[in-house]
Amino acid sequence: MPTGTCPECDADVHVDTDADKGDAVACEECGTELEIVGLDPVELDIVEDDELDDDDDEEEF
């Protein structure tokens, strides 16, 4: 099973072999929500809640 490194706590995060870019995973050590941004090698980035909130606000207006 491929692994990436959590950018928050540096723990190994296991990624399913059939995972794609853009899929979300959670770090088992710190609970941070991560997005797969690369597959070979596996690269992970923190999902920013603020970006989602900004998109929601724009749709309401």
Question: pTM score, two decimals?
Answer: 0.75
CATH hierarchy code of domain 3-60: 2.20.28.160
Which pairs from 24-30 meet CB under 8 Å and 24+ separation? 30/6
User: What is the structure's pLDDT at 20?
Assistant: 96
Q: What is the CB neighbour count within 10 angstroms for residue 13?
A: 22
17, 26, 31, 37 from 47: Cα distances, Å: 21, 10, 12, 11
User: What is the structure's pLDDT at 1?
Assistant: 86
pLDDT in tens, 30-46: 999 999 999 999 999 99
More confident residue, 61 or 35: 35
Task: Look at residue 49 and tell me whether its pLDDT is greater than 90.
Answer: no
User: What is the structure's pLDDT at 28?
Assistant: 96
Domain ranges of the chain: 3-60
